[in-house]
Homo-oligomer: A and B are copies of this chain.
Amino acid sequence: MPNTHETPLPNTRETGPELSSVWLRVFLEVARHGSFTVAARTLGWTQSAVSRQVASLEAALDGGPLFDRLPRGVALTEAGRLLVPYAETVTGALRDARRDLGALREAAGGRLRFGAFATADAALVPHALALFRARHPRVRVVREEGFTPALLDRLTAGHLDLAVVSTTGRAPLESYELHHLLDEPLYVAVPAGHPLAGHEGPVPLGRFADADWISGSPRPEGTLLDAALRQGFSPRVAHVVGEWTAKQGYVAAGLGVTLVPALAAASVRPDITLLRVLDDGAPARAVYAATLRGRSLTPAASAFLDAVREATATIPA
C-alpha cells in the first residue's frame, strides 16, 4: 500500500491493482479445462481457492466476469477470450526468463567477455580457455588482447567481464577487484654464447648493469626494467623493440639482453638462453585476474576465473 507522505510523480500513471502471476496461470488452466474443479485438481489446489483466484483476477482487471458460470463448468466470456493471449504471453515470458536465468546460473548459457595481455595468451589463457570450453560449451566467449591499461579501461566501460592483467611496477589498479594468479619470476635472455649462459642458479640483476638492453620502451619506468631501478642501476637501453619475436632476434644477434617474464619463458628460440633472476625482495611482476570492484561476477566469469587458477598451477613457477 503506497504511503501518503510522498506525492506521486506525474509519471506514476495509474495501472490499476497489481496482478499475481498465479492468477493468470490459474486463469489459463481454468480456461483450458472449462472447470474450476478440474483446474483445481490439476493445480493441486482446492476448488474454493481457484474460485477466489478467478474472482480476484476479475476484480483486479475490472473488466467484468472472465467466465460465465454454467451449470456444468464455466465458459470464457468475451473478456476472458481477450485475456487468454495476454495471459499466455505473460506466463510464457516468465517461463523463458526462468529458463535463461537457470542457464546463466549453471553457466550453460550467456556470454563471457575477457581480455588478456600478450604473454598471458602464450600459455596461461589458452590452457584456461580449453578447460572452460570443455566445461561450459554453451557459453559464448568473446576474447580481447591488449595491454593492461587498455584492458582495465575496457573493464570499466563494461565491455569486459574479466581481464588478465599484470602489475609492471606501480599501476593504477585501484577500484578493481584483483584476484592474484601468480608472481612471475624474471629471466634475462642472453644469446647462447654469452659468458653467463652456462651459469647455474639465479643471477643477481646487477651483473647486467653494464649490458646493452633491449626493451619495448626507452625509459625503464613502468616496464619490467623497473626491477633494474630497484637494484640500483639505470639500464642502458640500446634498442627499443616492441614485438617479442623481434626482441628475440636482437638478443640472438648479440645486440643486447632483455628481461623475459616467466609466462613467455616457454616460447623462446633455442639460440637464446634464459637466466633466472635472483628474486631478492618483492616479486618483479604479479599477474591478476581483474574484475570491477563491487560487481558480482557472472557464473561464467567465475568459472573462467577458476579455470585460470587451475591453469596457473600448470605454469612452472
A18 to chain B minimum Cβ distance, whole angstroms, is 4
Q: A20-B20, A22-B18, A98-B61 are in contact. Are A3 and B79 (CB under 8 A)?
A: no
Are B101 and A83 in touch, CB under 8 angstroms? yes
In-complex Cβ contact of A82 among B63, B87, B104 (8 A): B104
Which of A42-85 touch B at CB < 8 Å? 42-46, 61-65, 68-71, 75, 77-79, 82-83
Are B298 and A15 in touch, CB under 8 angstroms? no
- Mark each residue of chain A from 12 to 31: 1 if its CB lies under 8 Å from any CB of chain B, else 0: 10011011111001000000
With an 8 A cutoff between CB atoms, is A89 at the interface?
yes
Question: Which residue of B is nearest A70, CB measured?
Answer: B294
- Please state the number of chain copies in the assembly: 2
A78 to chain B minimum Cβ distance, whole angstroms, is 4
Task: Using C-beta atoms within 8 Å of the partner chain, give the interface range for chain A.
Answer: 35 or more
Question: Which residue of B is nearest A71, CB measured?
Answer: B294
Give CA–CA (A2, B20) in the complex, Å: 16
A192 to chain B minimum Cβ distance, whole angstroms, is 50
Are B77 and A44 in touch, CB under 8 angstroms? no
Contacts of A219 in B (CB 8 A): none
Question: Which residue of B is nearest A42, CB measured?
Answer: B9
Q: A78-B298, A102-B63 are in contact. Are A42 and B94 (CB under 8 A)?
A: no
Are A6 and B296 in touch, CB under 8 angstroms? no
In-complex Cβ contact of A6 among B12, B44, B295 (8 A): B44
With an 8 A cutoff between CB atoms, is A100 at the interface?
yes
Contacts of A78 in B (CB 8 A): 104, 110, 161, 298
Give CA–CA (A87, B3) in the complex, Å: 25
Are B101 and A68 in touch, CB under 8 angstroms? no
Are B98 and A44 in touch, CB under 8 angstroms? no
Contacts of A87 in B (CB 8 A): 97
Contacts of A299 in B (CB 8 A): 64
A251 to chain B minimum Cβ distance, whole angstroms, is 44
